[in-house]
C-alpha cells in the first residue's frame, strides 16, 4: 500500500535532524547536520534543503514540517524568537522554506512536535487524550486532545513547565516563581544539587566530579544513585515528589488516557517513578488516575523529527 511521505526537520541548538517519514511515523531516510548558530537562518535553511534533496524519496514527499524551540507562530510560520539560536528573530521560516522547495510547509515549536511524535511512535496513534512532557534543560509539554494537537488561542497551550508548584519558590526564567521547571529542569536541578552539596558530603559524587560541582548533571546524579549514593537518592525522591504533585494537577485538569515523559531526565525514571506514583495516589482523582497510563518514551531521540514531519496530519 502506498503511503504518504513527509519531510521532518528538527532544528535543535546543537544539531538539526532531517528525515523522511511515512504516515505511520516510520522513518524511511534520515540524516543530521551540526547547527551553525552563527550563520544567517536563510543559509542554514539552504543547507537543510540540500540534505533533504539528497534523499532518494525527496520527490515523493507531500509536505514539510519543522519543529524549533522558542516562540513560534503556527499560523504564520514565523519564528519570533528561539532561545538557543540568537540569529533567529522574526524569521519567516515557512515563507523561506516554501520558496526554496515549492512544497507546503508547517512550522511549530519543538514541544508540540515532540508531542505529535510521541502520539505516533509511543502511542502508535491509538490514544485519544495524551499529554507529553519533555524533561530537558527546561520543562515543556504538548496536549493531544481527541487525537489532535491542541494549540490554544495564541499557540502556548501545553506550556506545563510553568505551572506553579511552590508559590514562594525560586524565581523562574519566565518571570513567575516556583514553576515545576525550577525544581526539575536540568539547569535548575544541577544548580540545586551544587548548592545542596555545600553542607553535605558525598564520597561518590566527589569521586564522579573530582569535587568540581559545576560538572553535576542529572545523568551524573543518576550514576551516583546507581552506585548507591544516599544524597543522590534523596534528590531523586524530591524530583519524584515534585513531578507527582505536578502530574496530579495535569491528571485532574486534563483527564488524559496517557502521559508520556520524554527528554534527558526521563532516563532516570527508576530513581523517581515510585515517588511520582505515590504522590498521584494521594492527590489526584481516583477514577482519573486509574484511567491514565504514565510511560517513558522509548523513542526519545526521534520524537522531534517524526512529530515535525507529521504536522500536516495534525
Ligand atoms: Zn516558569
Over the stretch 38-49, which tens digit does the pLDDT of each residue have? 999 999 999 999
Cα-to-centroid distance, 171 and ligand 1 (Å): 8
What is residue 84's predicted lDDT score, i.e. its pLDDT? 82
pLDDT band at 155 (very low <50, low <70, confident <90, very high): confident
Burial readout 68-104 (b: 16 or more C-beta within 10 A, e: otherwise): bbbbbbbeebbbeebeebeebeebbbbebbeebbebe
**Domain edges within the chain:** 5-118+302-313, 125-297
- For ligand 1, the distance from its centroid to the CA atom of residue 139, given in whole angstroms, is 9
Higher pLDDT, 162 or 2: 162
| Range in 114-123, 155-164, 243-252, 272-281 with the lowest mean pLDDT | 155-164
Question: From ligand 1's centre to the CA of 63, what distance in Å?
Answer: 34
What is the mean pLDDT of the segment spanning 223-230?
A: 96
Q: Where is average pLDDT lowest: 29-33, 76-80, 209-213?
A: 209-213
Q: What DSSP element (H or E) covers 105?
A: strand 104-109
Tell how far the Cα of 136 is from the centroid of ligand 1, in angstroms.
14
What's residue 154's pLDDT?
86
Q: How many A from CA of 179 to the centre of ligand 1? A: 5
Distance 281 CA to ligand 1 centre (A): 26
CA of 181 to the centre of ligand 1 (A): 6
How many Å lie between the centroid of ligand 1 and the Cα of residue 3?
41
Split at pLDDT 50, 70, 90, the class of 57 is: very high
Ligand 1 centroid – CA 22 distance (Å): 36
Percent above pLDDT 90 for the chain: 90
Cβ distance 161 to 290 under 8 Å?
A: no
Q: Cα(173) to centroid of ligand 1, in Å?
A: 6
Ligand 1 center to residue 125 CA distance, Å? 30
How many Å lie between the centroid of ligand 1 and the Cα of residue 137? Answer: 13
Looking at beta carbons, which pairs linking 278-285 to residues 24 or more positions away fall under 8 Å? 278/240, 278/241, 278/244, 279/240, 279/241, 279/243, 279/244, 279/245, 279/247, 279/248, 280/244, 280/247, 280/248, 280/251, 283/244, 283/245, 283/248, 284/247, 284/248, 284/251, 284/252, 285/251, 285/252
What is the residue-wise DSSP string for 176-225? -BSBTHHHHSHHHHHHHHHHHTTS---HHHHHHHTT-GGG--HHHHHHHH
Residue with cell 522574526: 90
70 CA to middle of ligand 1, Å? Answer: 14
Ligand 1 centroid to residue 113 C-alpha, Å = 21
Residue with cell 514562594: 168
pLDDT value at residue 1? 45
Q: How far is the CA of 176 from the centre of ligand 1 (A)?
A: 5
Query: How far is the centre of ligand 1, averaged over its atoms, from the C-alpha of 162 (Å)?
Result: 4
For the segment 96-117, what is each residue's pLDDT rounded down to a tens digit? 999 999 999 999 999 999 999 9
Alpha carbon of 15 to ligand 1 centroid (Å):
26
Report how far ligand 1's centroid is from the alpha carbon of 77 (Å).
25
Instruction: Determine the CATH number of domain 5-118+302-313.
Output: 3.30.420.40
179-182: long-range pairs with CB below 8 Å, 24+ = 179/139, 180/139, 180/242, 180/243, 180/246, 181/138, 181/139
Distance 165 CA to ligand 1 centre (A): 10
pLDDT for the residue 143: 97
Q: pLDDT exceeding 70 applies to what percent of the chain?
A: 99
pTM as predicted? 0.93
240 C-alpha to ligand 1 centroid (Å):
19
| Separation of CA 12 and ligand 1 centre (Å) | 21
- Whether the pLDDT of residue 33 is over 70: the answer is yes
Q: Once rounded to an integer, what is the mean pLDDT over residues 54-58?
A: 97
User: Given this model, what pLDDT does residue 32 score?
Assistant: 97
pLDDT digits (tens, 9 = 90+) for 230-276: 999 999 999 999 999 999 999 999 999 999 999 999 999 999 999 99
> Contact, 23 vs 313, CB < 8 A?
yes
Q: Which CATH superfamily is domain 125-297 in?
A: ATPase, nucleotide binding domain (3.30.420.40)
Residue 62 has a pLDDT of 96
Amino acid at each position: 500500500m502506498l503511503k504518504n511521505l513527509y519531510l521532518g526537520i528538527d532544528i535543535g541548538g546543537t544539531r538539526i535532524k532531517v528525515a523522511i517519514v511515512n504516515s505511520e511515523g516510520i522513518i524511511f531516510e534520515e540524516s543530521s547536520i551540526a547547527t551553525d548558530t552563527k550563520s544567517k537562518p536563510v543559509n542554514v535553511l539552504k543547507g537543510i534543503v540540500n540534505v533533504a534533496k539528497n534523499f532518494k524519496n525527496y520527490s515523493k514527499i507531500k509536505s514539510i514540517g519543522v519543529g524549533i524551540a522558542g516562540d513560534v507562530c503556527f499560523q504564520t510560520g514565523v519564528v519570533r524568537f528561539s532561545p538557543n539560536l540568537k540569529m533567529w528573530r522574526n524569521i519567516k521560516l515557512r515563507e523561506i522554506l516554501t520558496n526554496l522547495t515549492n512544497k507546503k510547509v508547517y512550522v511549530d515549536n519543538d514541544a508540540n512536535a515532540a508531542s505529535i511524535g510521541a502520539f505516533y511512535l509511543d502511542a502508535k496513534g491509538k490514544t485519544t487524550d495524551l499529554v507529553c512532557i519533555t524533561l530537558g534543560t527546561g520543562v515543556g509539554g504538548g496536549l493531544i486532545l481527541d487525537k489532535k494537537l491542541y494549540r490554544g488561542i495564541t499557540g502556548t497551550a501545553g506550556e506545563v513547565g510553568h505551572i506553579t508548584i511552590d508559590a514562594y519558590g525560586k524565581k523562574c526564567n519566565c518571570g513567575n516563581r516556583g514553576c515545576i521547571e525550577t525544581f526539575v529542569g536540568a539547569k535548575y536541578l544541577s544548580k540545586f544539587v551544587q548548592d545542596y552539596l555545600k553542607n553535605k558530603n558525598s564520597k561518590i559524587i566527589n569521586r564522579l566530579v573530582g569535587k568540581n560541582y559545576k560538572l553535576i548533571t542529572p545523568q551524573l546524579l543518576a550514576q551516583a544513585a546507581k552506585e548507591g549514593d544516599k544524597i543522590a537518592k534523596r534528590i531523586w525522591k524530591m524530583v519524584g515528589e515534585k513531578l507527582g504533585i505536578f502530574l496530579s494537577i495535569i491528571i485532574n485538569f486534563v483527564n488524559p488516557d496517557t502521559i508520556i515523559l520524554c527528554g534527558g531526565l526521563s532516563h532516570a525514571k527508576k530513581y523517581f517513578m515510585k515517588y511520582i506514583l505515590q504522590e498521584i495516589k494521594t492527590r489526584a482523582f481516583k477514577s482519573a488516575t486509574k484511567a491514565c497510563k504514565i510511560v517513558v518514551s522509548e523513542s526519545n531521540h526521534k520524537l522531534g523529527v517524526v512529530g515535525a514531519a507529521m504536522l500536516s496530519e495534525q
